[in-house]
Structure 1
Amino acid sequence: MNAKVVLFDELGGPEVLRLEQVRLDEPGEGEVQVRIDAIGLNRAEALFRSGGYYYQPTLPASRIGTEAAGVVEAVGPGVEGFSPGDAVSVLATGIDMSTNGVYGDRVNVAARSLLRRPDSVDAVTGAAVWLSYLTAYGALIEVGRMRPGDEVVITAASSSVGMAAIQLANHIGAVPIAVTRTAAKADRLMRAGAAHVLAMDEDDLVKRVAMLTSGRGARLVFDSVGGPGLAGVARAVTRDGMLIVYGWLDPRPAPLPMNWPLNIFGFGLNVVTDDPAALRRGEAFINAGLRSGVLAPVIDATFDLADIADAHRHMEANGQLGKIVVTVRH
């Protein structure tokens, strides 16, 4: 069988991505073949494509992508619990994207990377929810122990993880304080559920957070930016609070904050995905939120698989609010 997959032969911008027909073998031991109906884009994939991720792609003909949704078409030897026709989401993290990337119309993936997709969850939602919401859930609830009334500062709040964090904070009864680079997205972030919006280019973050918290500071700061500004962001944390860092949008070195005592946690999604009990809790929490409607991925834009380069250009323009999804026509 042939499949259409996205490949790239050199590091660079979105233009290096190409769609090509390749041979797709039957699924091997522990693998499942999935017809992909929708793909969720993540900032990590742009970094991977350009050489800025924490590991480098294997060139030429590197694959790309970590998150998708579709339907099981075949199962390999040793696979239990999945059958052809099952609706699933794919969350292929912690593996080599060059070999296992999910940008394509059909892929073979490890059965351990599958999550069951309820009938009520369509493919676009199924491709948009898991990486973002498990990241926010794992960081804020499993690690940060977010509680009702907690002030939670969320940087890069217009990202898909940021939007998920806003929804989780509201669901728990915490107070989401959204941080964005300029005020251009302030109204949309307020409509999306932020209790307050701070613009880094216009506000003194520490003073504004102090004012909003009656001088205490926030119990949780959830940061994906890092870089030299991290020390300043850390000053917004209250004395018994926690700074949770889950990304490095600013690749420059980040100085160690000096407002000690300070709890700092470097969060990776494997905190959840490598712990079966934590993953079960996360799945249950998120699926319950999807059923009730209190959790709902915000879809910024959809693109066709043939327009994958344009989808990456849109992501890198930094104008998005929520998730970019690529749909696949069969």
Structure 2
Amino acid sequence: MTRLVQFDRLGGPDVLTLRDVEVGAPEAGEVRIRVDAIGLNRAEIMYREGTYFDTPRFPSTLGYEAAGVIEAVGGGVDGFSEGDLVAVVPAFRQSEYGTYGDHVIVPAAAVVHRPAAVGPVQAAAVWMAYITAYGALAESGQVRPGDHVLITAASSSVGLAAIRIARHLGAVPIATTRGTGKKQRLLDAGAAHVVVTDEEDLPARVKEITGGEGVRLAFDPIAGPGVEPVAQGIAPGGSLVVYGALDPRPTPLPHARSYPALTTRTYTLLEITSDPERLRRAVAFVNAGLVSGSFDPVVDRTFDLADIAEAHRYMEANGQVGKIVVTVTHDAPAS
């Protein structure tokens, strides 16, 4: 038996229930993992509420990220053995698999080895954030040394990862936050500049920072009408990358009459995690940064698995800077 978080209807955090269920054995192409830590993401809140692209099948579990140890390996799986230290990356639908439990089965294609020096809490905090930022900045965005990069909603785990990756690439990260409360923490996290959007004119401040040129790339999870001032701060020939939809209102497409020539696109980390070769490059990039110390995931707060509903409430309050991680305590090794 294992403890697994499930829900039977859409709704708020209170629909989440911790149940004892039979975990079973992994089938072909799957592995079973003893989970030590779970990383929480906005996608799981949206999935629980019914606003995500994936529709729950009740009783549904949820969760994209975890870190732990391989317990069993299904048929046809190469490269993993019992006892391996691993992490789970978002490379599946939550309607088919989930990570909110103390023993879970996931597809082997969504599992990566983690360095021994990287603990489970750190490993559970890294992959969604760093692969998302890596794909947009380092791979498809081709950010170069000296480029200015605008990172909106920068206190999120993805925003903080983007700051670190921009620094790692030699670029200049400009972070945004709505109020002054998170400004110093963003500077401490590596932002070269922080624009407080409730108090400052975003495009004017960006132009001031960049000497009138604008940024080469803007990385935005909010969407909605707010993309207009973001686009106004992009240099001619630059890129606007929208990777989320925190604002449910329609998102206008910037046009040539109002903005300089720029490329606009949407992006999700599934572009990376669903492609084995691109995922291999991403894992190598992130693991190298973890080992060298260039990448250090920021963990805002940890919760116990039994307090999963409270962890979701905390995320919904939008007060965190960095990742929320749920830890799992095991009384005895799995049999």
Q: Scaled by the length of structure 1, what TM-score is found?
A: 0.97
Q: Distance in 2 between matches of 1:293 and 1:224?
A: 26
- Partner Cα separation in structure 2 for residue 96 and residue 210 of structure 1: 40
8 Å Cα contact 1:183/1:198 also seen in 2: no
Three-state SS of the structure 2 residue aligned to 1:278 is helix
SS in 1 for 2:95: helix
AA matched with 2:68: G
Matched, 1:154 2:148: no
In 1, Cα distance between equivalents of 2:243 and 2:139: 14
CA contact (8 A) 1:232 1:257 kept: no
Contact residue 178 and residue 194 of structure 1 kept, 8 A: yes
Per the TM alignment, residue 217 of structure 1 is displaced from its structure 2 partner at its CA by 0.6
* Counterpart AA for 2:16: L
Residues in 1 aligned to 2:187 and 2:23: alpha-carbon distance in whole angstroms: 46
Q: Within the alignment, does 1:205 sit opposite 2:202 as a pair?
A: yes
- The alignment status of 1:184 with 2:181, answered yes or no, reads yes
State the percentage of identical aligned residues: 57
1:83 aligned onto 2:81: yes
- 1:233 equivalenced with 2:227 (yes/no): no
Q: Is the 8 A contact 2:89 2:273 kept in 1?
A: no
Please tell me the residue identity of whatever aligns with 1:79.
Answer: V
| Equivalent position SS for 2:116 | coil
Q: Where in structure 2 are the equivalents of 1:94-113 lying within 5 Å?
A: 95-113=92-110
Shift, 1:260, TM fit: 4.8
Q: Deviations 1:197-240 (Å, cap 9, x if unpaired)?
A: 11121111010001111111110100000011112211111001
Deviation sequence 1:228-273 (CA, Å, 0-9, x none) = 1112211111001110110011011101112252101211112212
User: Which residue of 2 is the match for residue 28 of structure 1?
Assistant: 27
Shift of 1:92: 3.6
Amino acid at match of 1:107: V
Which blocks of at least 5 consecutive residues in structure 1 are unaligned?
none
Aligned partners of 2:299 and 2:323 also within 8 Å = yes
Is the CA contact 2:35–2:103 (under 8 Å) kept in the aligned structure 1? yes
Aligned residue in 1 for 2:111: 114
Q: Does the residue aligned with 1:283 lie in a helix, a strand or coil?
A: helix
Structure 2 CA distance for aligned equivalents of residues 78 and 173 of structure 1? 41
Q: Name the CA distance, whole Å, in 1 between partners of 2:122 and 2:280.
A: 19
Number of residues paired by the alignment? 327
Q: Which amino acid aligns with 1:35?
A: R
Would the aligned equivalents of 2:54 and 2:95 in 1 still touch at CA under 8 Å?
no
Where 2:130 maps in the other structure, the secondary structure is helix
Alignment of 1:53-64 (within 5 A): 53-59=52-58, 61-64=59-62
Structure 2 counterpart of 1:43:
42
User: Residue 3 of structure 1 contacts residue 104 of structure 1 at CA under 8 Å; is this kept in 2?
Assistant: yes
Higher mean alpha-carbon deviation, 232-241 vs 36-45, is at: 232-241
> What is the alpha-carbon distance in structure 2 between the residues aligned to residue 294 and residue 153 of structure 1?
20
CA gap 1:96/1:270 in 2 versus in 1, 3 angstroms: closer
In the alignment, does 2:294 pair up with 1:294? yes
CA–CA distance in 1 between the matches of 2:54 and 2:35? 25
Amino acid at match of 1:290: L
- 1:126 is matched with which residue: 102, 123, 140? 123
Does the 8 Å contact 2:13/2:309 carry over to 1?
A: yes
Separation in structure 2 between the aligned mates of residue 307 and residue 281 of structure 1, nearest angstrom? 35
CA contact (8 A) 1:297 1:322 kept: yes
Determine helix, strand or coil for the equivalent of 2:238.
strand
3-state DSSP class of the match of 1:35?
strand
Match in the other structure for 1:175: 172
- Confirm whether residue 311 of structure 1 aligns to residue 311 of structure 2: yes
Question: Does structure 1 residue 273 correspond to structure 2 residue 273?
Answer: yes
Q: Which residue of 2 aligns with 1:323?
A: 323
Q: Provide TM-score, normalisation by structure 2.
A: 0.96
Give the drift of 1:305. Answer: 0.2
Aligned-partner residue type, residue 53 of structure 1: Y
Cα RMSD (Å) of the superposition?
Answer: 1.0
1:144 maps to 141
Q: Residues of 2 paired with 1:139 and 1:125: CA distance?
A: 22
Greater CA drift, 141-150 or 254-263:
254-263
**2-structure distance, mates of 1:154, 1:172:** 15
Gaps of 5+ in 2: 331-335
Q: Tell me, in whole angstroms, the C-alpha distance in 2 between the residues paired with 1:87 and 1:137.
A: 23
